[in-house]
Amino acid sequence: MRAMPDKSKDGASGRGFFGRLRKRLGGDKGLALSLNLVGRKLDAELAEELETQLLLADVGIEASERIIDGLRHRLGAKSIQDEAEVRNALRDSITDLLAEHSRPMIIAETERPFMILMVGVNGSGKTTTTGKLAKILQDQGYSVMLAAGDTFRAAAVEQLQSWGERNQIPVIAQQTGADPAAVIYDAFEAAKARGIDVLLADTAGRLQSKVGLMAELAKIVRVAKRLDPTAPHETMLVLDASLGQNAVNQAVKFHEAIGLTGITMTKLDGGGKGGVLLAIAERLDVPFRFIGVGEGIDDMGVFDAKQFAAALVERAGQPE
């Protein structure tokens, strides 16, 4: 088995993917930085103020309570000497919450083609994420094929074909309105015949509340299992960070419908505060695979709990 390597860590230099993430999430948008903390104790009043800061960052009630409990354990009843003390404790509490979800995607050598089913709602960045992931996998030495399963939106097929042409990656597509399960069936057969390592299957965006569309997605999963009982080997939900708590609802509903194995969070550069990942972590036992902070290929990185927690709580420019 091979795990997706994490080439995105940039140490204390502030360069690279996580350096950009800290700039997006840190500074005045960082957690618990707008409170007057020095000389105070973590009593009920301060705990409530900290919880408010967490809730404003989309962390959610359950995750906020867990983080506050972690702060109580680390800070105890003594007076706070400086703000950095709280930030460090907060960072460690967030890391603890996220650590079990920081599991890289593993591509088993025995599963060929390794099928990754990409799902999500309209506008989440799913097709772009599919193209980025295809390029990342190709750069790691895998042969890749794309399946244009979003047959309802002609632009999605064209967008995926553009990614394929740019990187010499084959794309299996049919006419607009074709049965997406049939497209993915054909793509899987083609990938198997050509000895392709990884098949990335895009699907149409769908609201989690639309029963018919979610049933269609379940049909795609059933068709995949006819071809290979272990497929899809990864079912990846792409979420838009700017949606806040609605992203939590999306994750829960998709997981209930088809069983997720991974989550990618996009658009952390578009107003999302990042705390929604903590809310999802508290609700679902699904690993976070990737996070995105922009449109470029280098703006998507492997999720790392410690680095992400640091980006949430550190001041802009502060070393790790």
pLDDT band at residue 10, thresholds of 50, 70 and 90?
A: very low
Which option is the CATH number for 16-99: 1.20.1530.20, 1.20.120.140, 1.10.3720.10, 1.10.1060.10?
1.20.120.140
* pLDDT tens-digit readout, 36-79: 677 888 888 888 888 888 888 888 899 999 999 998 998 887 88
pLDDT for residue 173 is more than 70 = yes
Q: Which CATH number applies to 106-303?
A: 3.40.50.300
- Helices of type H across the chain: 17-25, 44-56, 61-75, 83-99, 126-139, 154-167, 180-194, 211-227, 245-258, 276-283, 305-313
Q: Where are the domains of the chain?
A: 16-99, 106-303
Q: What pLDDT was estimated at residue 273?
A: 67
pLDDT for residue 315 is more than 80 = no
Q: What pLDDT was estimated at residue 15?
A: 56
Nearest by Cα to 86 from 75, 76, 95 = 75
Peptide bond into 113 cis (omega under 30): yes
Q: What pLDDT was estimated at residue 18?
A: 73
Q: What pLDDT was estimated at residue 39?
A: 82
* pLDDT tens-digit readout, 84-96: 888 888 889 999 9
Tokens read off for 221: 């999963």
pLDDT for residue 9 is more than 60 = no
* pLDDT tens-digit readout, 189-202: 999 999 999 999 99
